[in-house]
Structure 1
Amino acid sequence: MDLAGKVAIVTGGTGGLGVAVVERLLGAGATVITPYVDEMAFARLHECCPTAIGLRVDLTDEAATKAAYDTVATTHGGIDILINAAGGFAGGQPVHQTSWSLWQAQLDINLKTAVISCAAAIPHLINRGGGAIVNVSSRTATQPGANLAAYAAAKRAVLQLTEALAAELLPHNITVNAVLPSVIDTPANRAAMPNADRARWVKPEEIAAVIHFLVGPTARIISGAAIPVYGKA
């Protein structure tokens, strides 16, 4: 229960990785708030994590996100932890065959949501005297890969965001790190790649354990790191 008394916001908490993160932080004693837009997705999360608190908000809406996070801080006494796990993948075509609308969509879901959530949450972390932020980037952000440019660019930008925030928030006792998954063993990925060797994929619970460590008391000396969490994938 090393996170007892801590208030955590987990974006993307209804997704394949997010559910594992929510469950892990709840198990560590944190109060966990999960922004969502899909009622059915949150209902499924609530079945396995009944103490998770839902927060209906569009994370690409700057004003709405700020108002929602302000309400969280007022209701629960502050915010200590932010996990930016909201995101999504689209691609599969060369750059010259990829429309700008797909680039924009990837930037919005992977980068814009993280930037807006950080802007809304950070003042409250500062008011608490410190805290922790973990951004979910991707292995693709650091390695060349054909037909993945829009997704990779958005996730690479998440790494730059992480580094900038780590430098800016150092005086405020706020750590900022990123994890870099590869293929995660989720139902969606199993359906999309039915013939893949799933034995090499990393389970969401394993990545959630790393995120838990990064926001916990024993990782206060780690900030600005990009941590591979792709195992043998």
Structure 2
Amino acid sequence: MLEGKSVVITGATGSLGRAAIEAVLLERGEPILISRQFADDFYSDLPRYEIDLTEHDATQAVISRIGDFDAVFNIAGGFAMGKKVYDDDRDDWSSMFALNTETMRNVAKVAIPLLIQRGGGAMVNVGAYAAQSGKADMGAYVASKAAVMRLTETLSEEVREHGVNVNAVLPTIIDTPANRNGMPDADPKSWVDPTRLAQVMCFLASDAAQDIHGALLPVRALS
């Protein structure tokens, strides 16, 4: 599905990032990894770039150095429960928008022109199933992910005629060690397996999805 394609993966050291690396390799693609920091032994045989994606100029400098690539998986982001909307949530708001929205925008500002220049490609963003509507005590998170989703649709309309596909997956809770530790009483059987989520992202980056533009694809477990 991705044979011969190079895929930039942001947030590469997280659970979904790791799953995406393995999925791209399984599809005979070539992962290019981006994270704030790498352990010495973390996929050391693959191209790796350490960068804080909330910093626009640094993002531009690094991605411009990568060279040619076919697709981008915008996985970098974060989650935190927040305060009431009417409470003082300035720290929550700044943190969620920096991690989820600004990282995606900073990458898009550099990567999309490069994809247009090469004549096509794909960008797959990560929204959130929960952000399709308001959720109590999650205002900053759902607002930041909703922004990612609206930007995905808007960007798709701007670049589809250039042969660039921009779509997003909307997972429910992802089955990660951090989520299991943070919600020990929950049943992870109803959560999304990161490997299966990564496989959906690979499909959206493949030639089989070249006619899919601006899709916000819910990804939920069966149970």
CA distance in 2, matches of 1:111, 1:24: 25
Deviation of 1:38 after TM superposition, in Å, equals 2.3
% identical equivalent positions: 39
Q: Report if the CA contact (8 A) 1:87-1:110 is conserved.
A: yes
| 2:96 is the alignment partner of 1:106 | yes
Q: Which has the higher helix share?
A: 1
Structure 1 residues 72-91: Cα deviation after superposition (integer angstroms, max 9, x where no partner):
01xxxx12101101110112
C-alpha contact (below 8 Å) 1:26/1:52 kept by paired residues: no
Taking structure 1 as the reference length, the TM-score comes to 0.91
**Paired residue for 2:216?**
226
Q: 1:155 to 1:59 in 2, by over 3 A?
A: same
Give the equivalent residue in structure 2 for 1:25: 24
Give the total of aligned pairs.
Answer: 223
**Per-residue Cα deviation, 1:151-205 (whole angstroms, up to 9, x for no partner):** 0000000011101111010111000101001111111111111111111111101
Question: What stretches of structure 1 of length at least 5 have no aligned partner?
Answer: none
> Is structure 2 residue 9 aligned with structure 1 residue 6?
no
Q: Distance in 1 between matches of 2:189 and 2:91?
A: 35
1:39 is displaced (CA, Å) by 2.9
Query: Gapped runs of 5+ residues in structure 2?
Result: none
- 1:71 maps to a residue whose letter is R
Cα distance in structure 2, aligned partners of 1:221 and 1:37: 33
The alignment yields a C-alpha RMSD, in angstroms, of 1.4
Superposed CA deviations along residues 88-111 of structure 1, whole A, max 9, x for unmatched, are 011242112242121011000000
Do the aligned partners of 2:82 and 2:89 also contact (CA within 8 Å) in 1? no
User: Structure 1 runs of 4+ off > 4 angstroms?
Assistant: none
Contact 2:83 2:89 in 1 (8 A): no
SS at match of 1:134: strand
TM-score of the superposition, structure 2-length normalised? 0.95
Equivalent pair of 1:80/1:124 in contact (CA under 8 Å): no
CA deviations on 1:189-233 (whole Å, 9 max, x unpaired) are 111111111111111011011101110111111110000002247
